[in-house]
Structure 1
Amino acid sequence: MYTEEEERYRFELREFLEQELSPLVEQIEGEELSPKGFIRKLGAKGYLGSMYPKEVGGTGRGIVYDTIVSEEVAYISPVTDTSRSVTSVMAAAPIYHFGTKEQMERYLRPLISGQAVGAIAISEPGTGSDAAGMQTRAERQGDFYIVNGQKHWITNAGIADHITMFAITNPDVHPHQGMSAFVIETNMPGFSVVRNPPVMGLRGVPHSHIRFENMAVPASNLLGKENEGWHVLTDELASERINISSRVLGAARRCYEEAVKHSATREQFGRKIRTFEGISFKIAEMKCDLDAARLLTLRAARMYDQGVRVEKEAAIAKLFTTERGFRIADKALQIHGGIGYWKGSPVEQFFRDIRAYRLGGGTDEIMKFLIQREEYRDFGY
Structure 2
Amino acid sequence: MDFTLPDEHRMIQEEVRRFCEEEIEPIAQEIENEHRFPQEIFDQLGQLDVMGVPISEEYGGLGGDTLMYAVVAEELGRVSGSVALSYVAHTSLASKPLELFGTEEQKERWLTPLASGEYMGAWALTEPGSGSDASDMDTTAVKEGDEWVINGTKQFITNASEAGSVLVKAVTDPGAGYDGISTFIVDPEADDGFEVTTIWDKMGLNASPTCEIKFDDVRVPEDRLLGEEGEGWKQTMKTLDGGRISIAAISTGLAQGAYEAAREYSKEREQFGQPISKFDAIRDKVVEMERKVERARLLTHKSAWQYDQGERVTKSSALAKLDASEACREVAEDAVQVLGGYGYTEDFAPQRFYRDAKLMEIGEGTSEIQHLVIGRELGL
Once residues 328 and 60 of structure 1 are traced to their aligned partners in structure 2, the CA distance between those partners, rounded to angstroms, is 33
Once residues 344 and 138 of structure 1 are traced to their aligned partners in structure 2, the CA distance between those partners, rounded to angstroms, is 48
- Aligned to 1:301, the other structure's residue is in SS state helix
Structure 2 match to 1:51? 54
TM-score, length-normalised on structure 1?
0.96
Structure 1 match to 2:316? 313
After TM superposition, give the deviation of residue 315 of structure 1 in Å.
0.3
Once residues 176 and 297 of structure 2 are traced to their aligned partners in structure 1, the CA distance between those partners, rounded to angstroms, is 41
After TM superposition, give the deviation of residue 22 of structure 1 in Å.
3.0
Aligned pairs for 1:1-381 (under 5 A) are 1-31=4-34, 33-174=36-177, 176-187=178-189, 188-376=191-379
After TM superposition, give the deviation of residue 139 of structure 1 in Å.
0.6
- Aligned to 1:30, the other structure's residue is in SS state helix
Structure 1 ranges of 4+ moved more than 6 A: none
After superposition, the C-alpha distances for 1:166-222 in whole angstroms (9 at most, x for unaligned) are: 000011221x11000011011211111111121000011220011111111211100
Residue pair 2:12, 2:72 contacting (<8 A) in 1 also: no
CA-based RMSD: 1.3
Once residues 17 and 264 of structure 1 are traced to their aligned partners in structure 2, the CA distance between those partners, rounded to angstroms, is 24
Structure 2: state its 5+ residue gaps: none
Once residues 327 and 70 of structure 2 are traced to their aligned partners in structure 1, the CA distance between those partners, rounded to angstroms, is 18
Once residues 7 and 55 of structure 2 are traced to their aligned partners in structure 1, the CA distance between those partners, rounded to angstroms, is 22
Structure 1: state its 5+ residue gaps: none
Once residues 181 and 353 of structure 1 are traced to their aligned partners in structure 2, the CA distance between those partners, rounded to angstroms, is 30
After TM superposition, give the deviation of residue 256 of structure 1 in Å.
0.3
More displaced stretch, 360-369 vs 8-17 = 8-17
Once residues 274 and 57 of structure 2 are traced to their aligned partners in structure 1, the CA distance between those partners, rounded to angstroms, is 56
Once residues 75 and 284 of structure 1 are traced to their aligned partners in structure 2, the CA distance between those partners, rounded to angstroms, is 18
Q: What fraction of aligned residue pairs are identical, expressed as a percent?
A: 38
- Aligned to 1:189, the other structure's residue is in SS state coil
- What one-letter code is carried by the residue in structure 1 that aligns with 2:42? I
After superposition, the C-alpha distances for 1:83-125 in whole angstroms (9 at most, x for unaligned) are: 1111122111111111111111111111111111111111111
Once residues 23 and 142 of structure 2 are traced to their aligned partners in structure 1, the CA distance between those partners, rounded to angstroms, is 45
After TM superposition, give the deviation of residue 20 of structure 1 in Å.
3.0
After TM superposition, give the deviation of residue 32 of structure 1 in Å.
5.7
After TM superposition, give the deviation of residue 374 of structure 1 in Å.
0.4
After TM superposition, give the deviation of residue 51 of structure 1 in Å.
1.0
TM-score, length-normalised on structure 2?
0.96
Residue pair 1:35, 1:83 contacting (<8 A) in 2 also: no
Residue pair 1:180, 1:229 contacting (<8 A) in 2 also: yes
